[in-house]
Amino acid sequence: MKKQHIKLTSSDLQKLQSILKKGTLKVSKLKRAQALVELDKGKTIVSVSELLDKSYPTVWTWVKKYNSEGLAFLDDKPRSGRPSGLSGKDRAKITALACSTPPEGHARWSLRLLADKLVELEYIDSISFKQVGIILKKMNFNLIEKDNGVSAK
């Protein structure tokens, strides 16, 4: 049976080797680059998929994409979906408010209370309590009861 491999151009091989020498890379880009180099050495798709702990169809897709797009396929394509629309400063304001003392009559902040207060203080035009929860979760911030209101866990 014939081995299933690709033949890289010398310029592509040099680019891949320089990519692999970089200290910081996304894992997906690293694995794709490693796969191409290993396939160029004559390894089969099966052996490369085992080596990189990827499925056969995944490696086969990489081969097809390399053949059609070249090295451009190494980088992820932009994902669909609406961008957040909140800047880092907005997120910081949300977290800072959650760290502050809750308003009178409340033992602690709730997500709905935070969302309402953010709009009231005109930090943000509008925000849902669910979005506040997502932002706090990404900041690894949990609302828990303490003597002074809330604290970061």
Q: What is the pLDDT of residues 56-89, one digit of tens each?
A: 999 999 999 999 998 899 988 887 877 777 888 8
Q: Could you read off the pLDDT of 9-46 as tens digits, one per residue? A: 889 899 998 888 887 888 899 999 999 999 999 899 99
What is the share, in percent, of the chain residues with pLDDT greater than 70? 89
Query: Residue 3's pLDDT band (boundaries 50, 70, 90)?
Result: low
Residue 57: the pLDDT is 95
Residue 25: the pLDDT is 82
Task: Look at residue 135 and tell me whether its pLDDT is greater than 50.
Answer: yes
Task: Look at residue 133 and tell me whether its pLDDT is greater than 80.
Answer: yes
What is the share, in percent, of the chain residues with pLDDT greater than 90? 31
CA distance 18 to 38: 15
Give the chain's mean pLDDT.
Answer: 85
CB 141 within 8 A of CB 152: yes
Global pTM reads 0.54
β-partners of residue 146 are 149
Nearest to residue 5, comparing CAs of 42, 55, 37, 32? 42
CB 45 within 8 A of CB 59: yes
Query: Residue 148's pLDDT band (boundaries 50, 70, 90)?
Result: very low
CA distance 91 to 15: 38
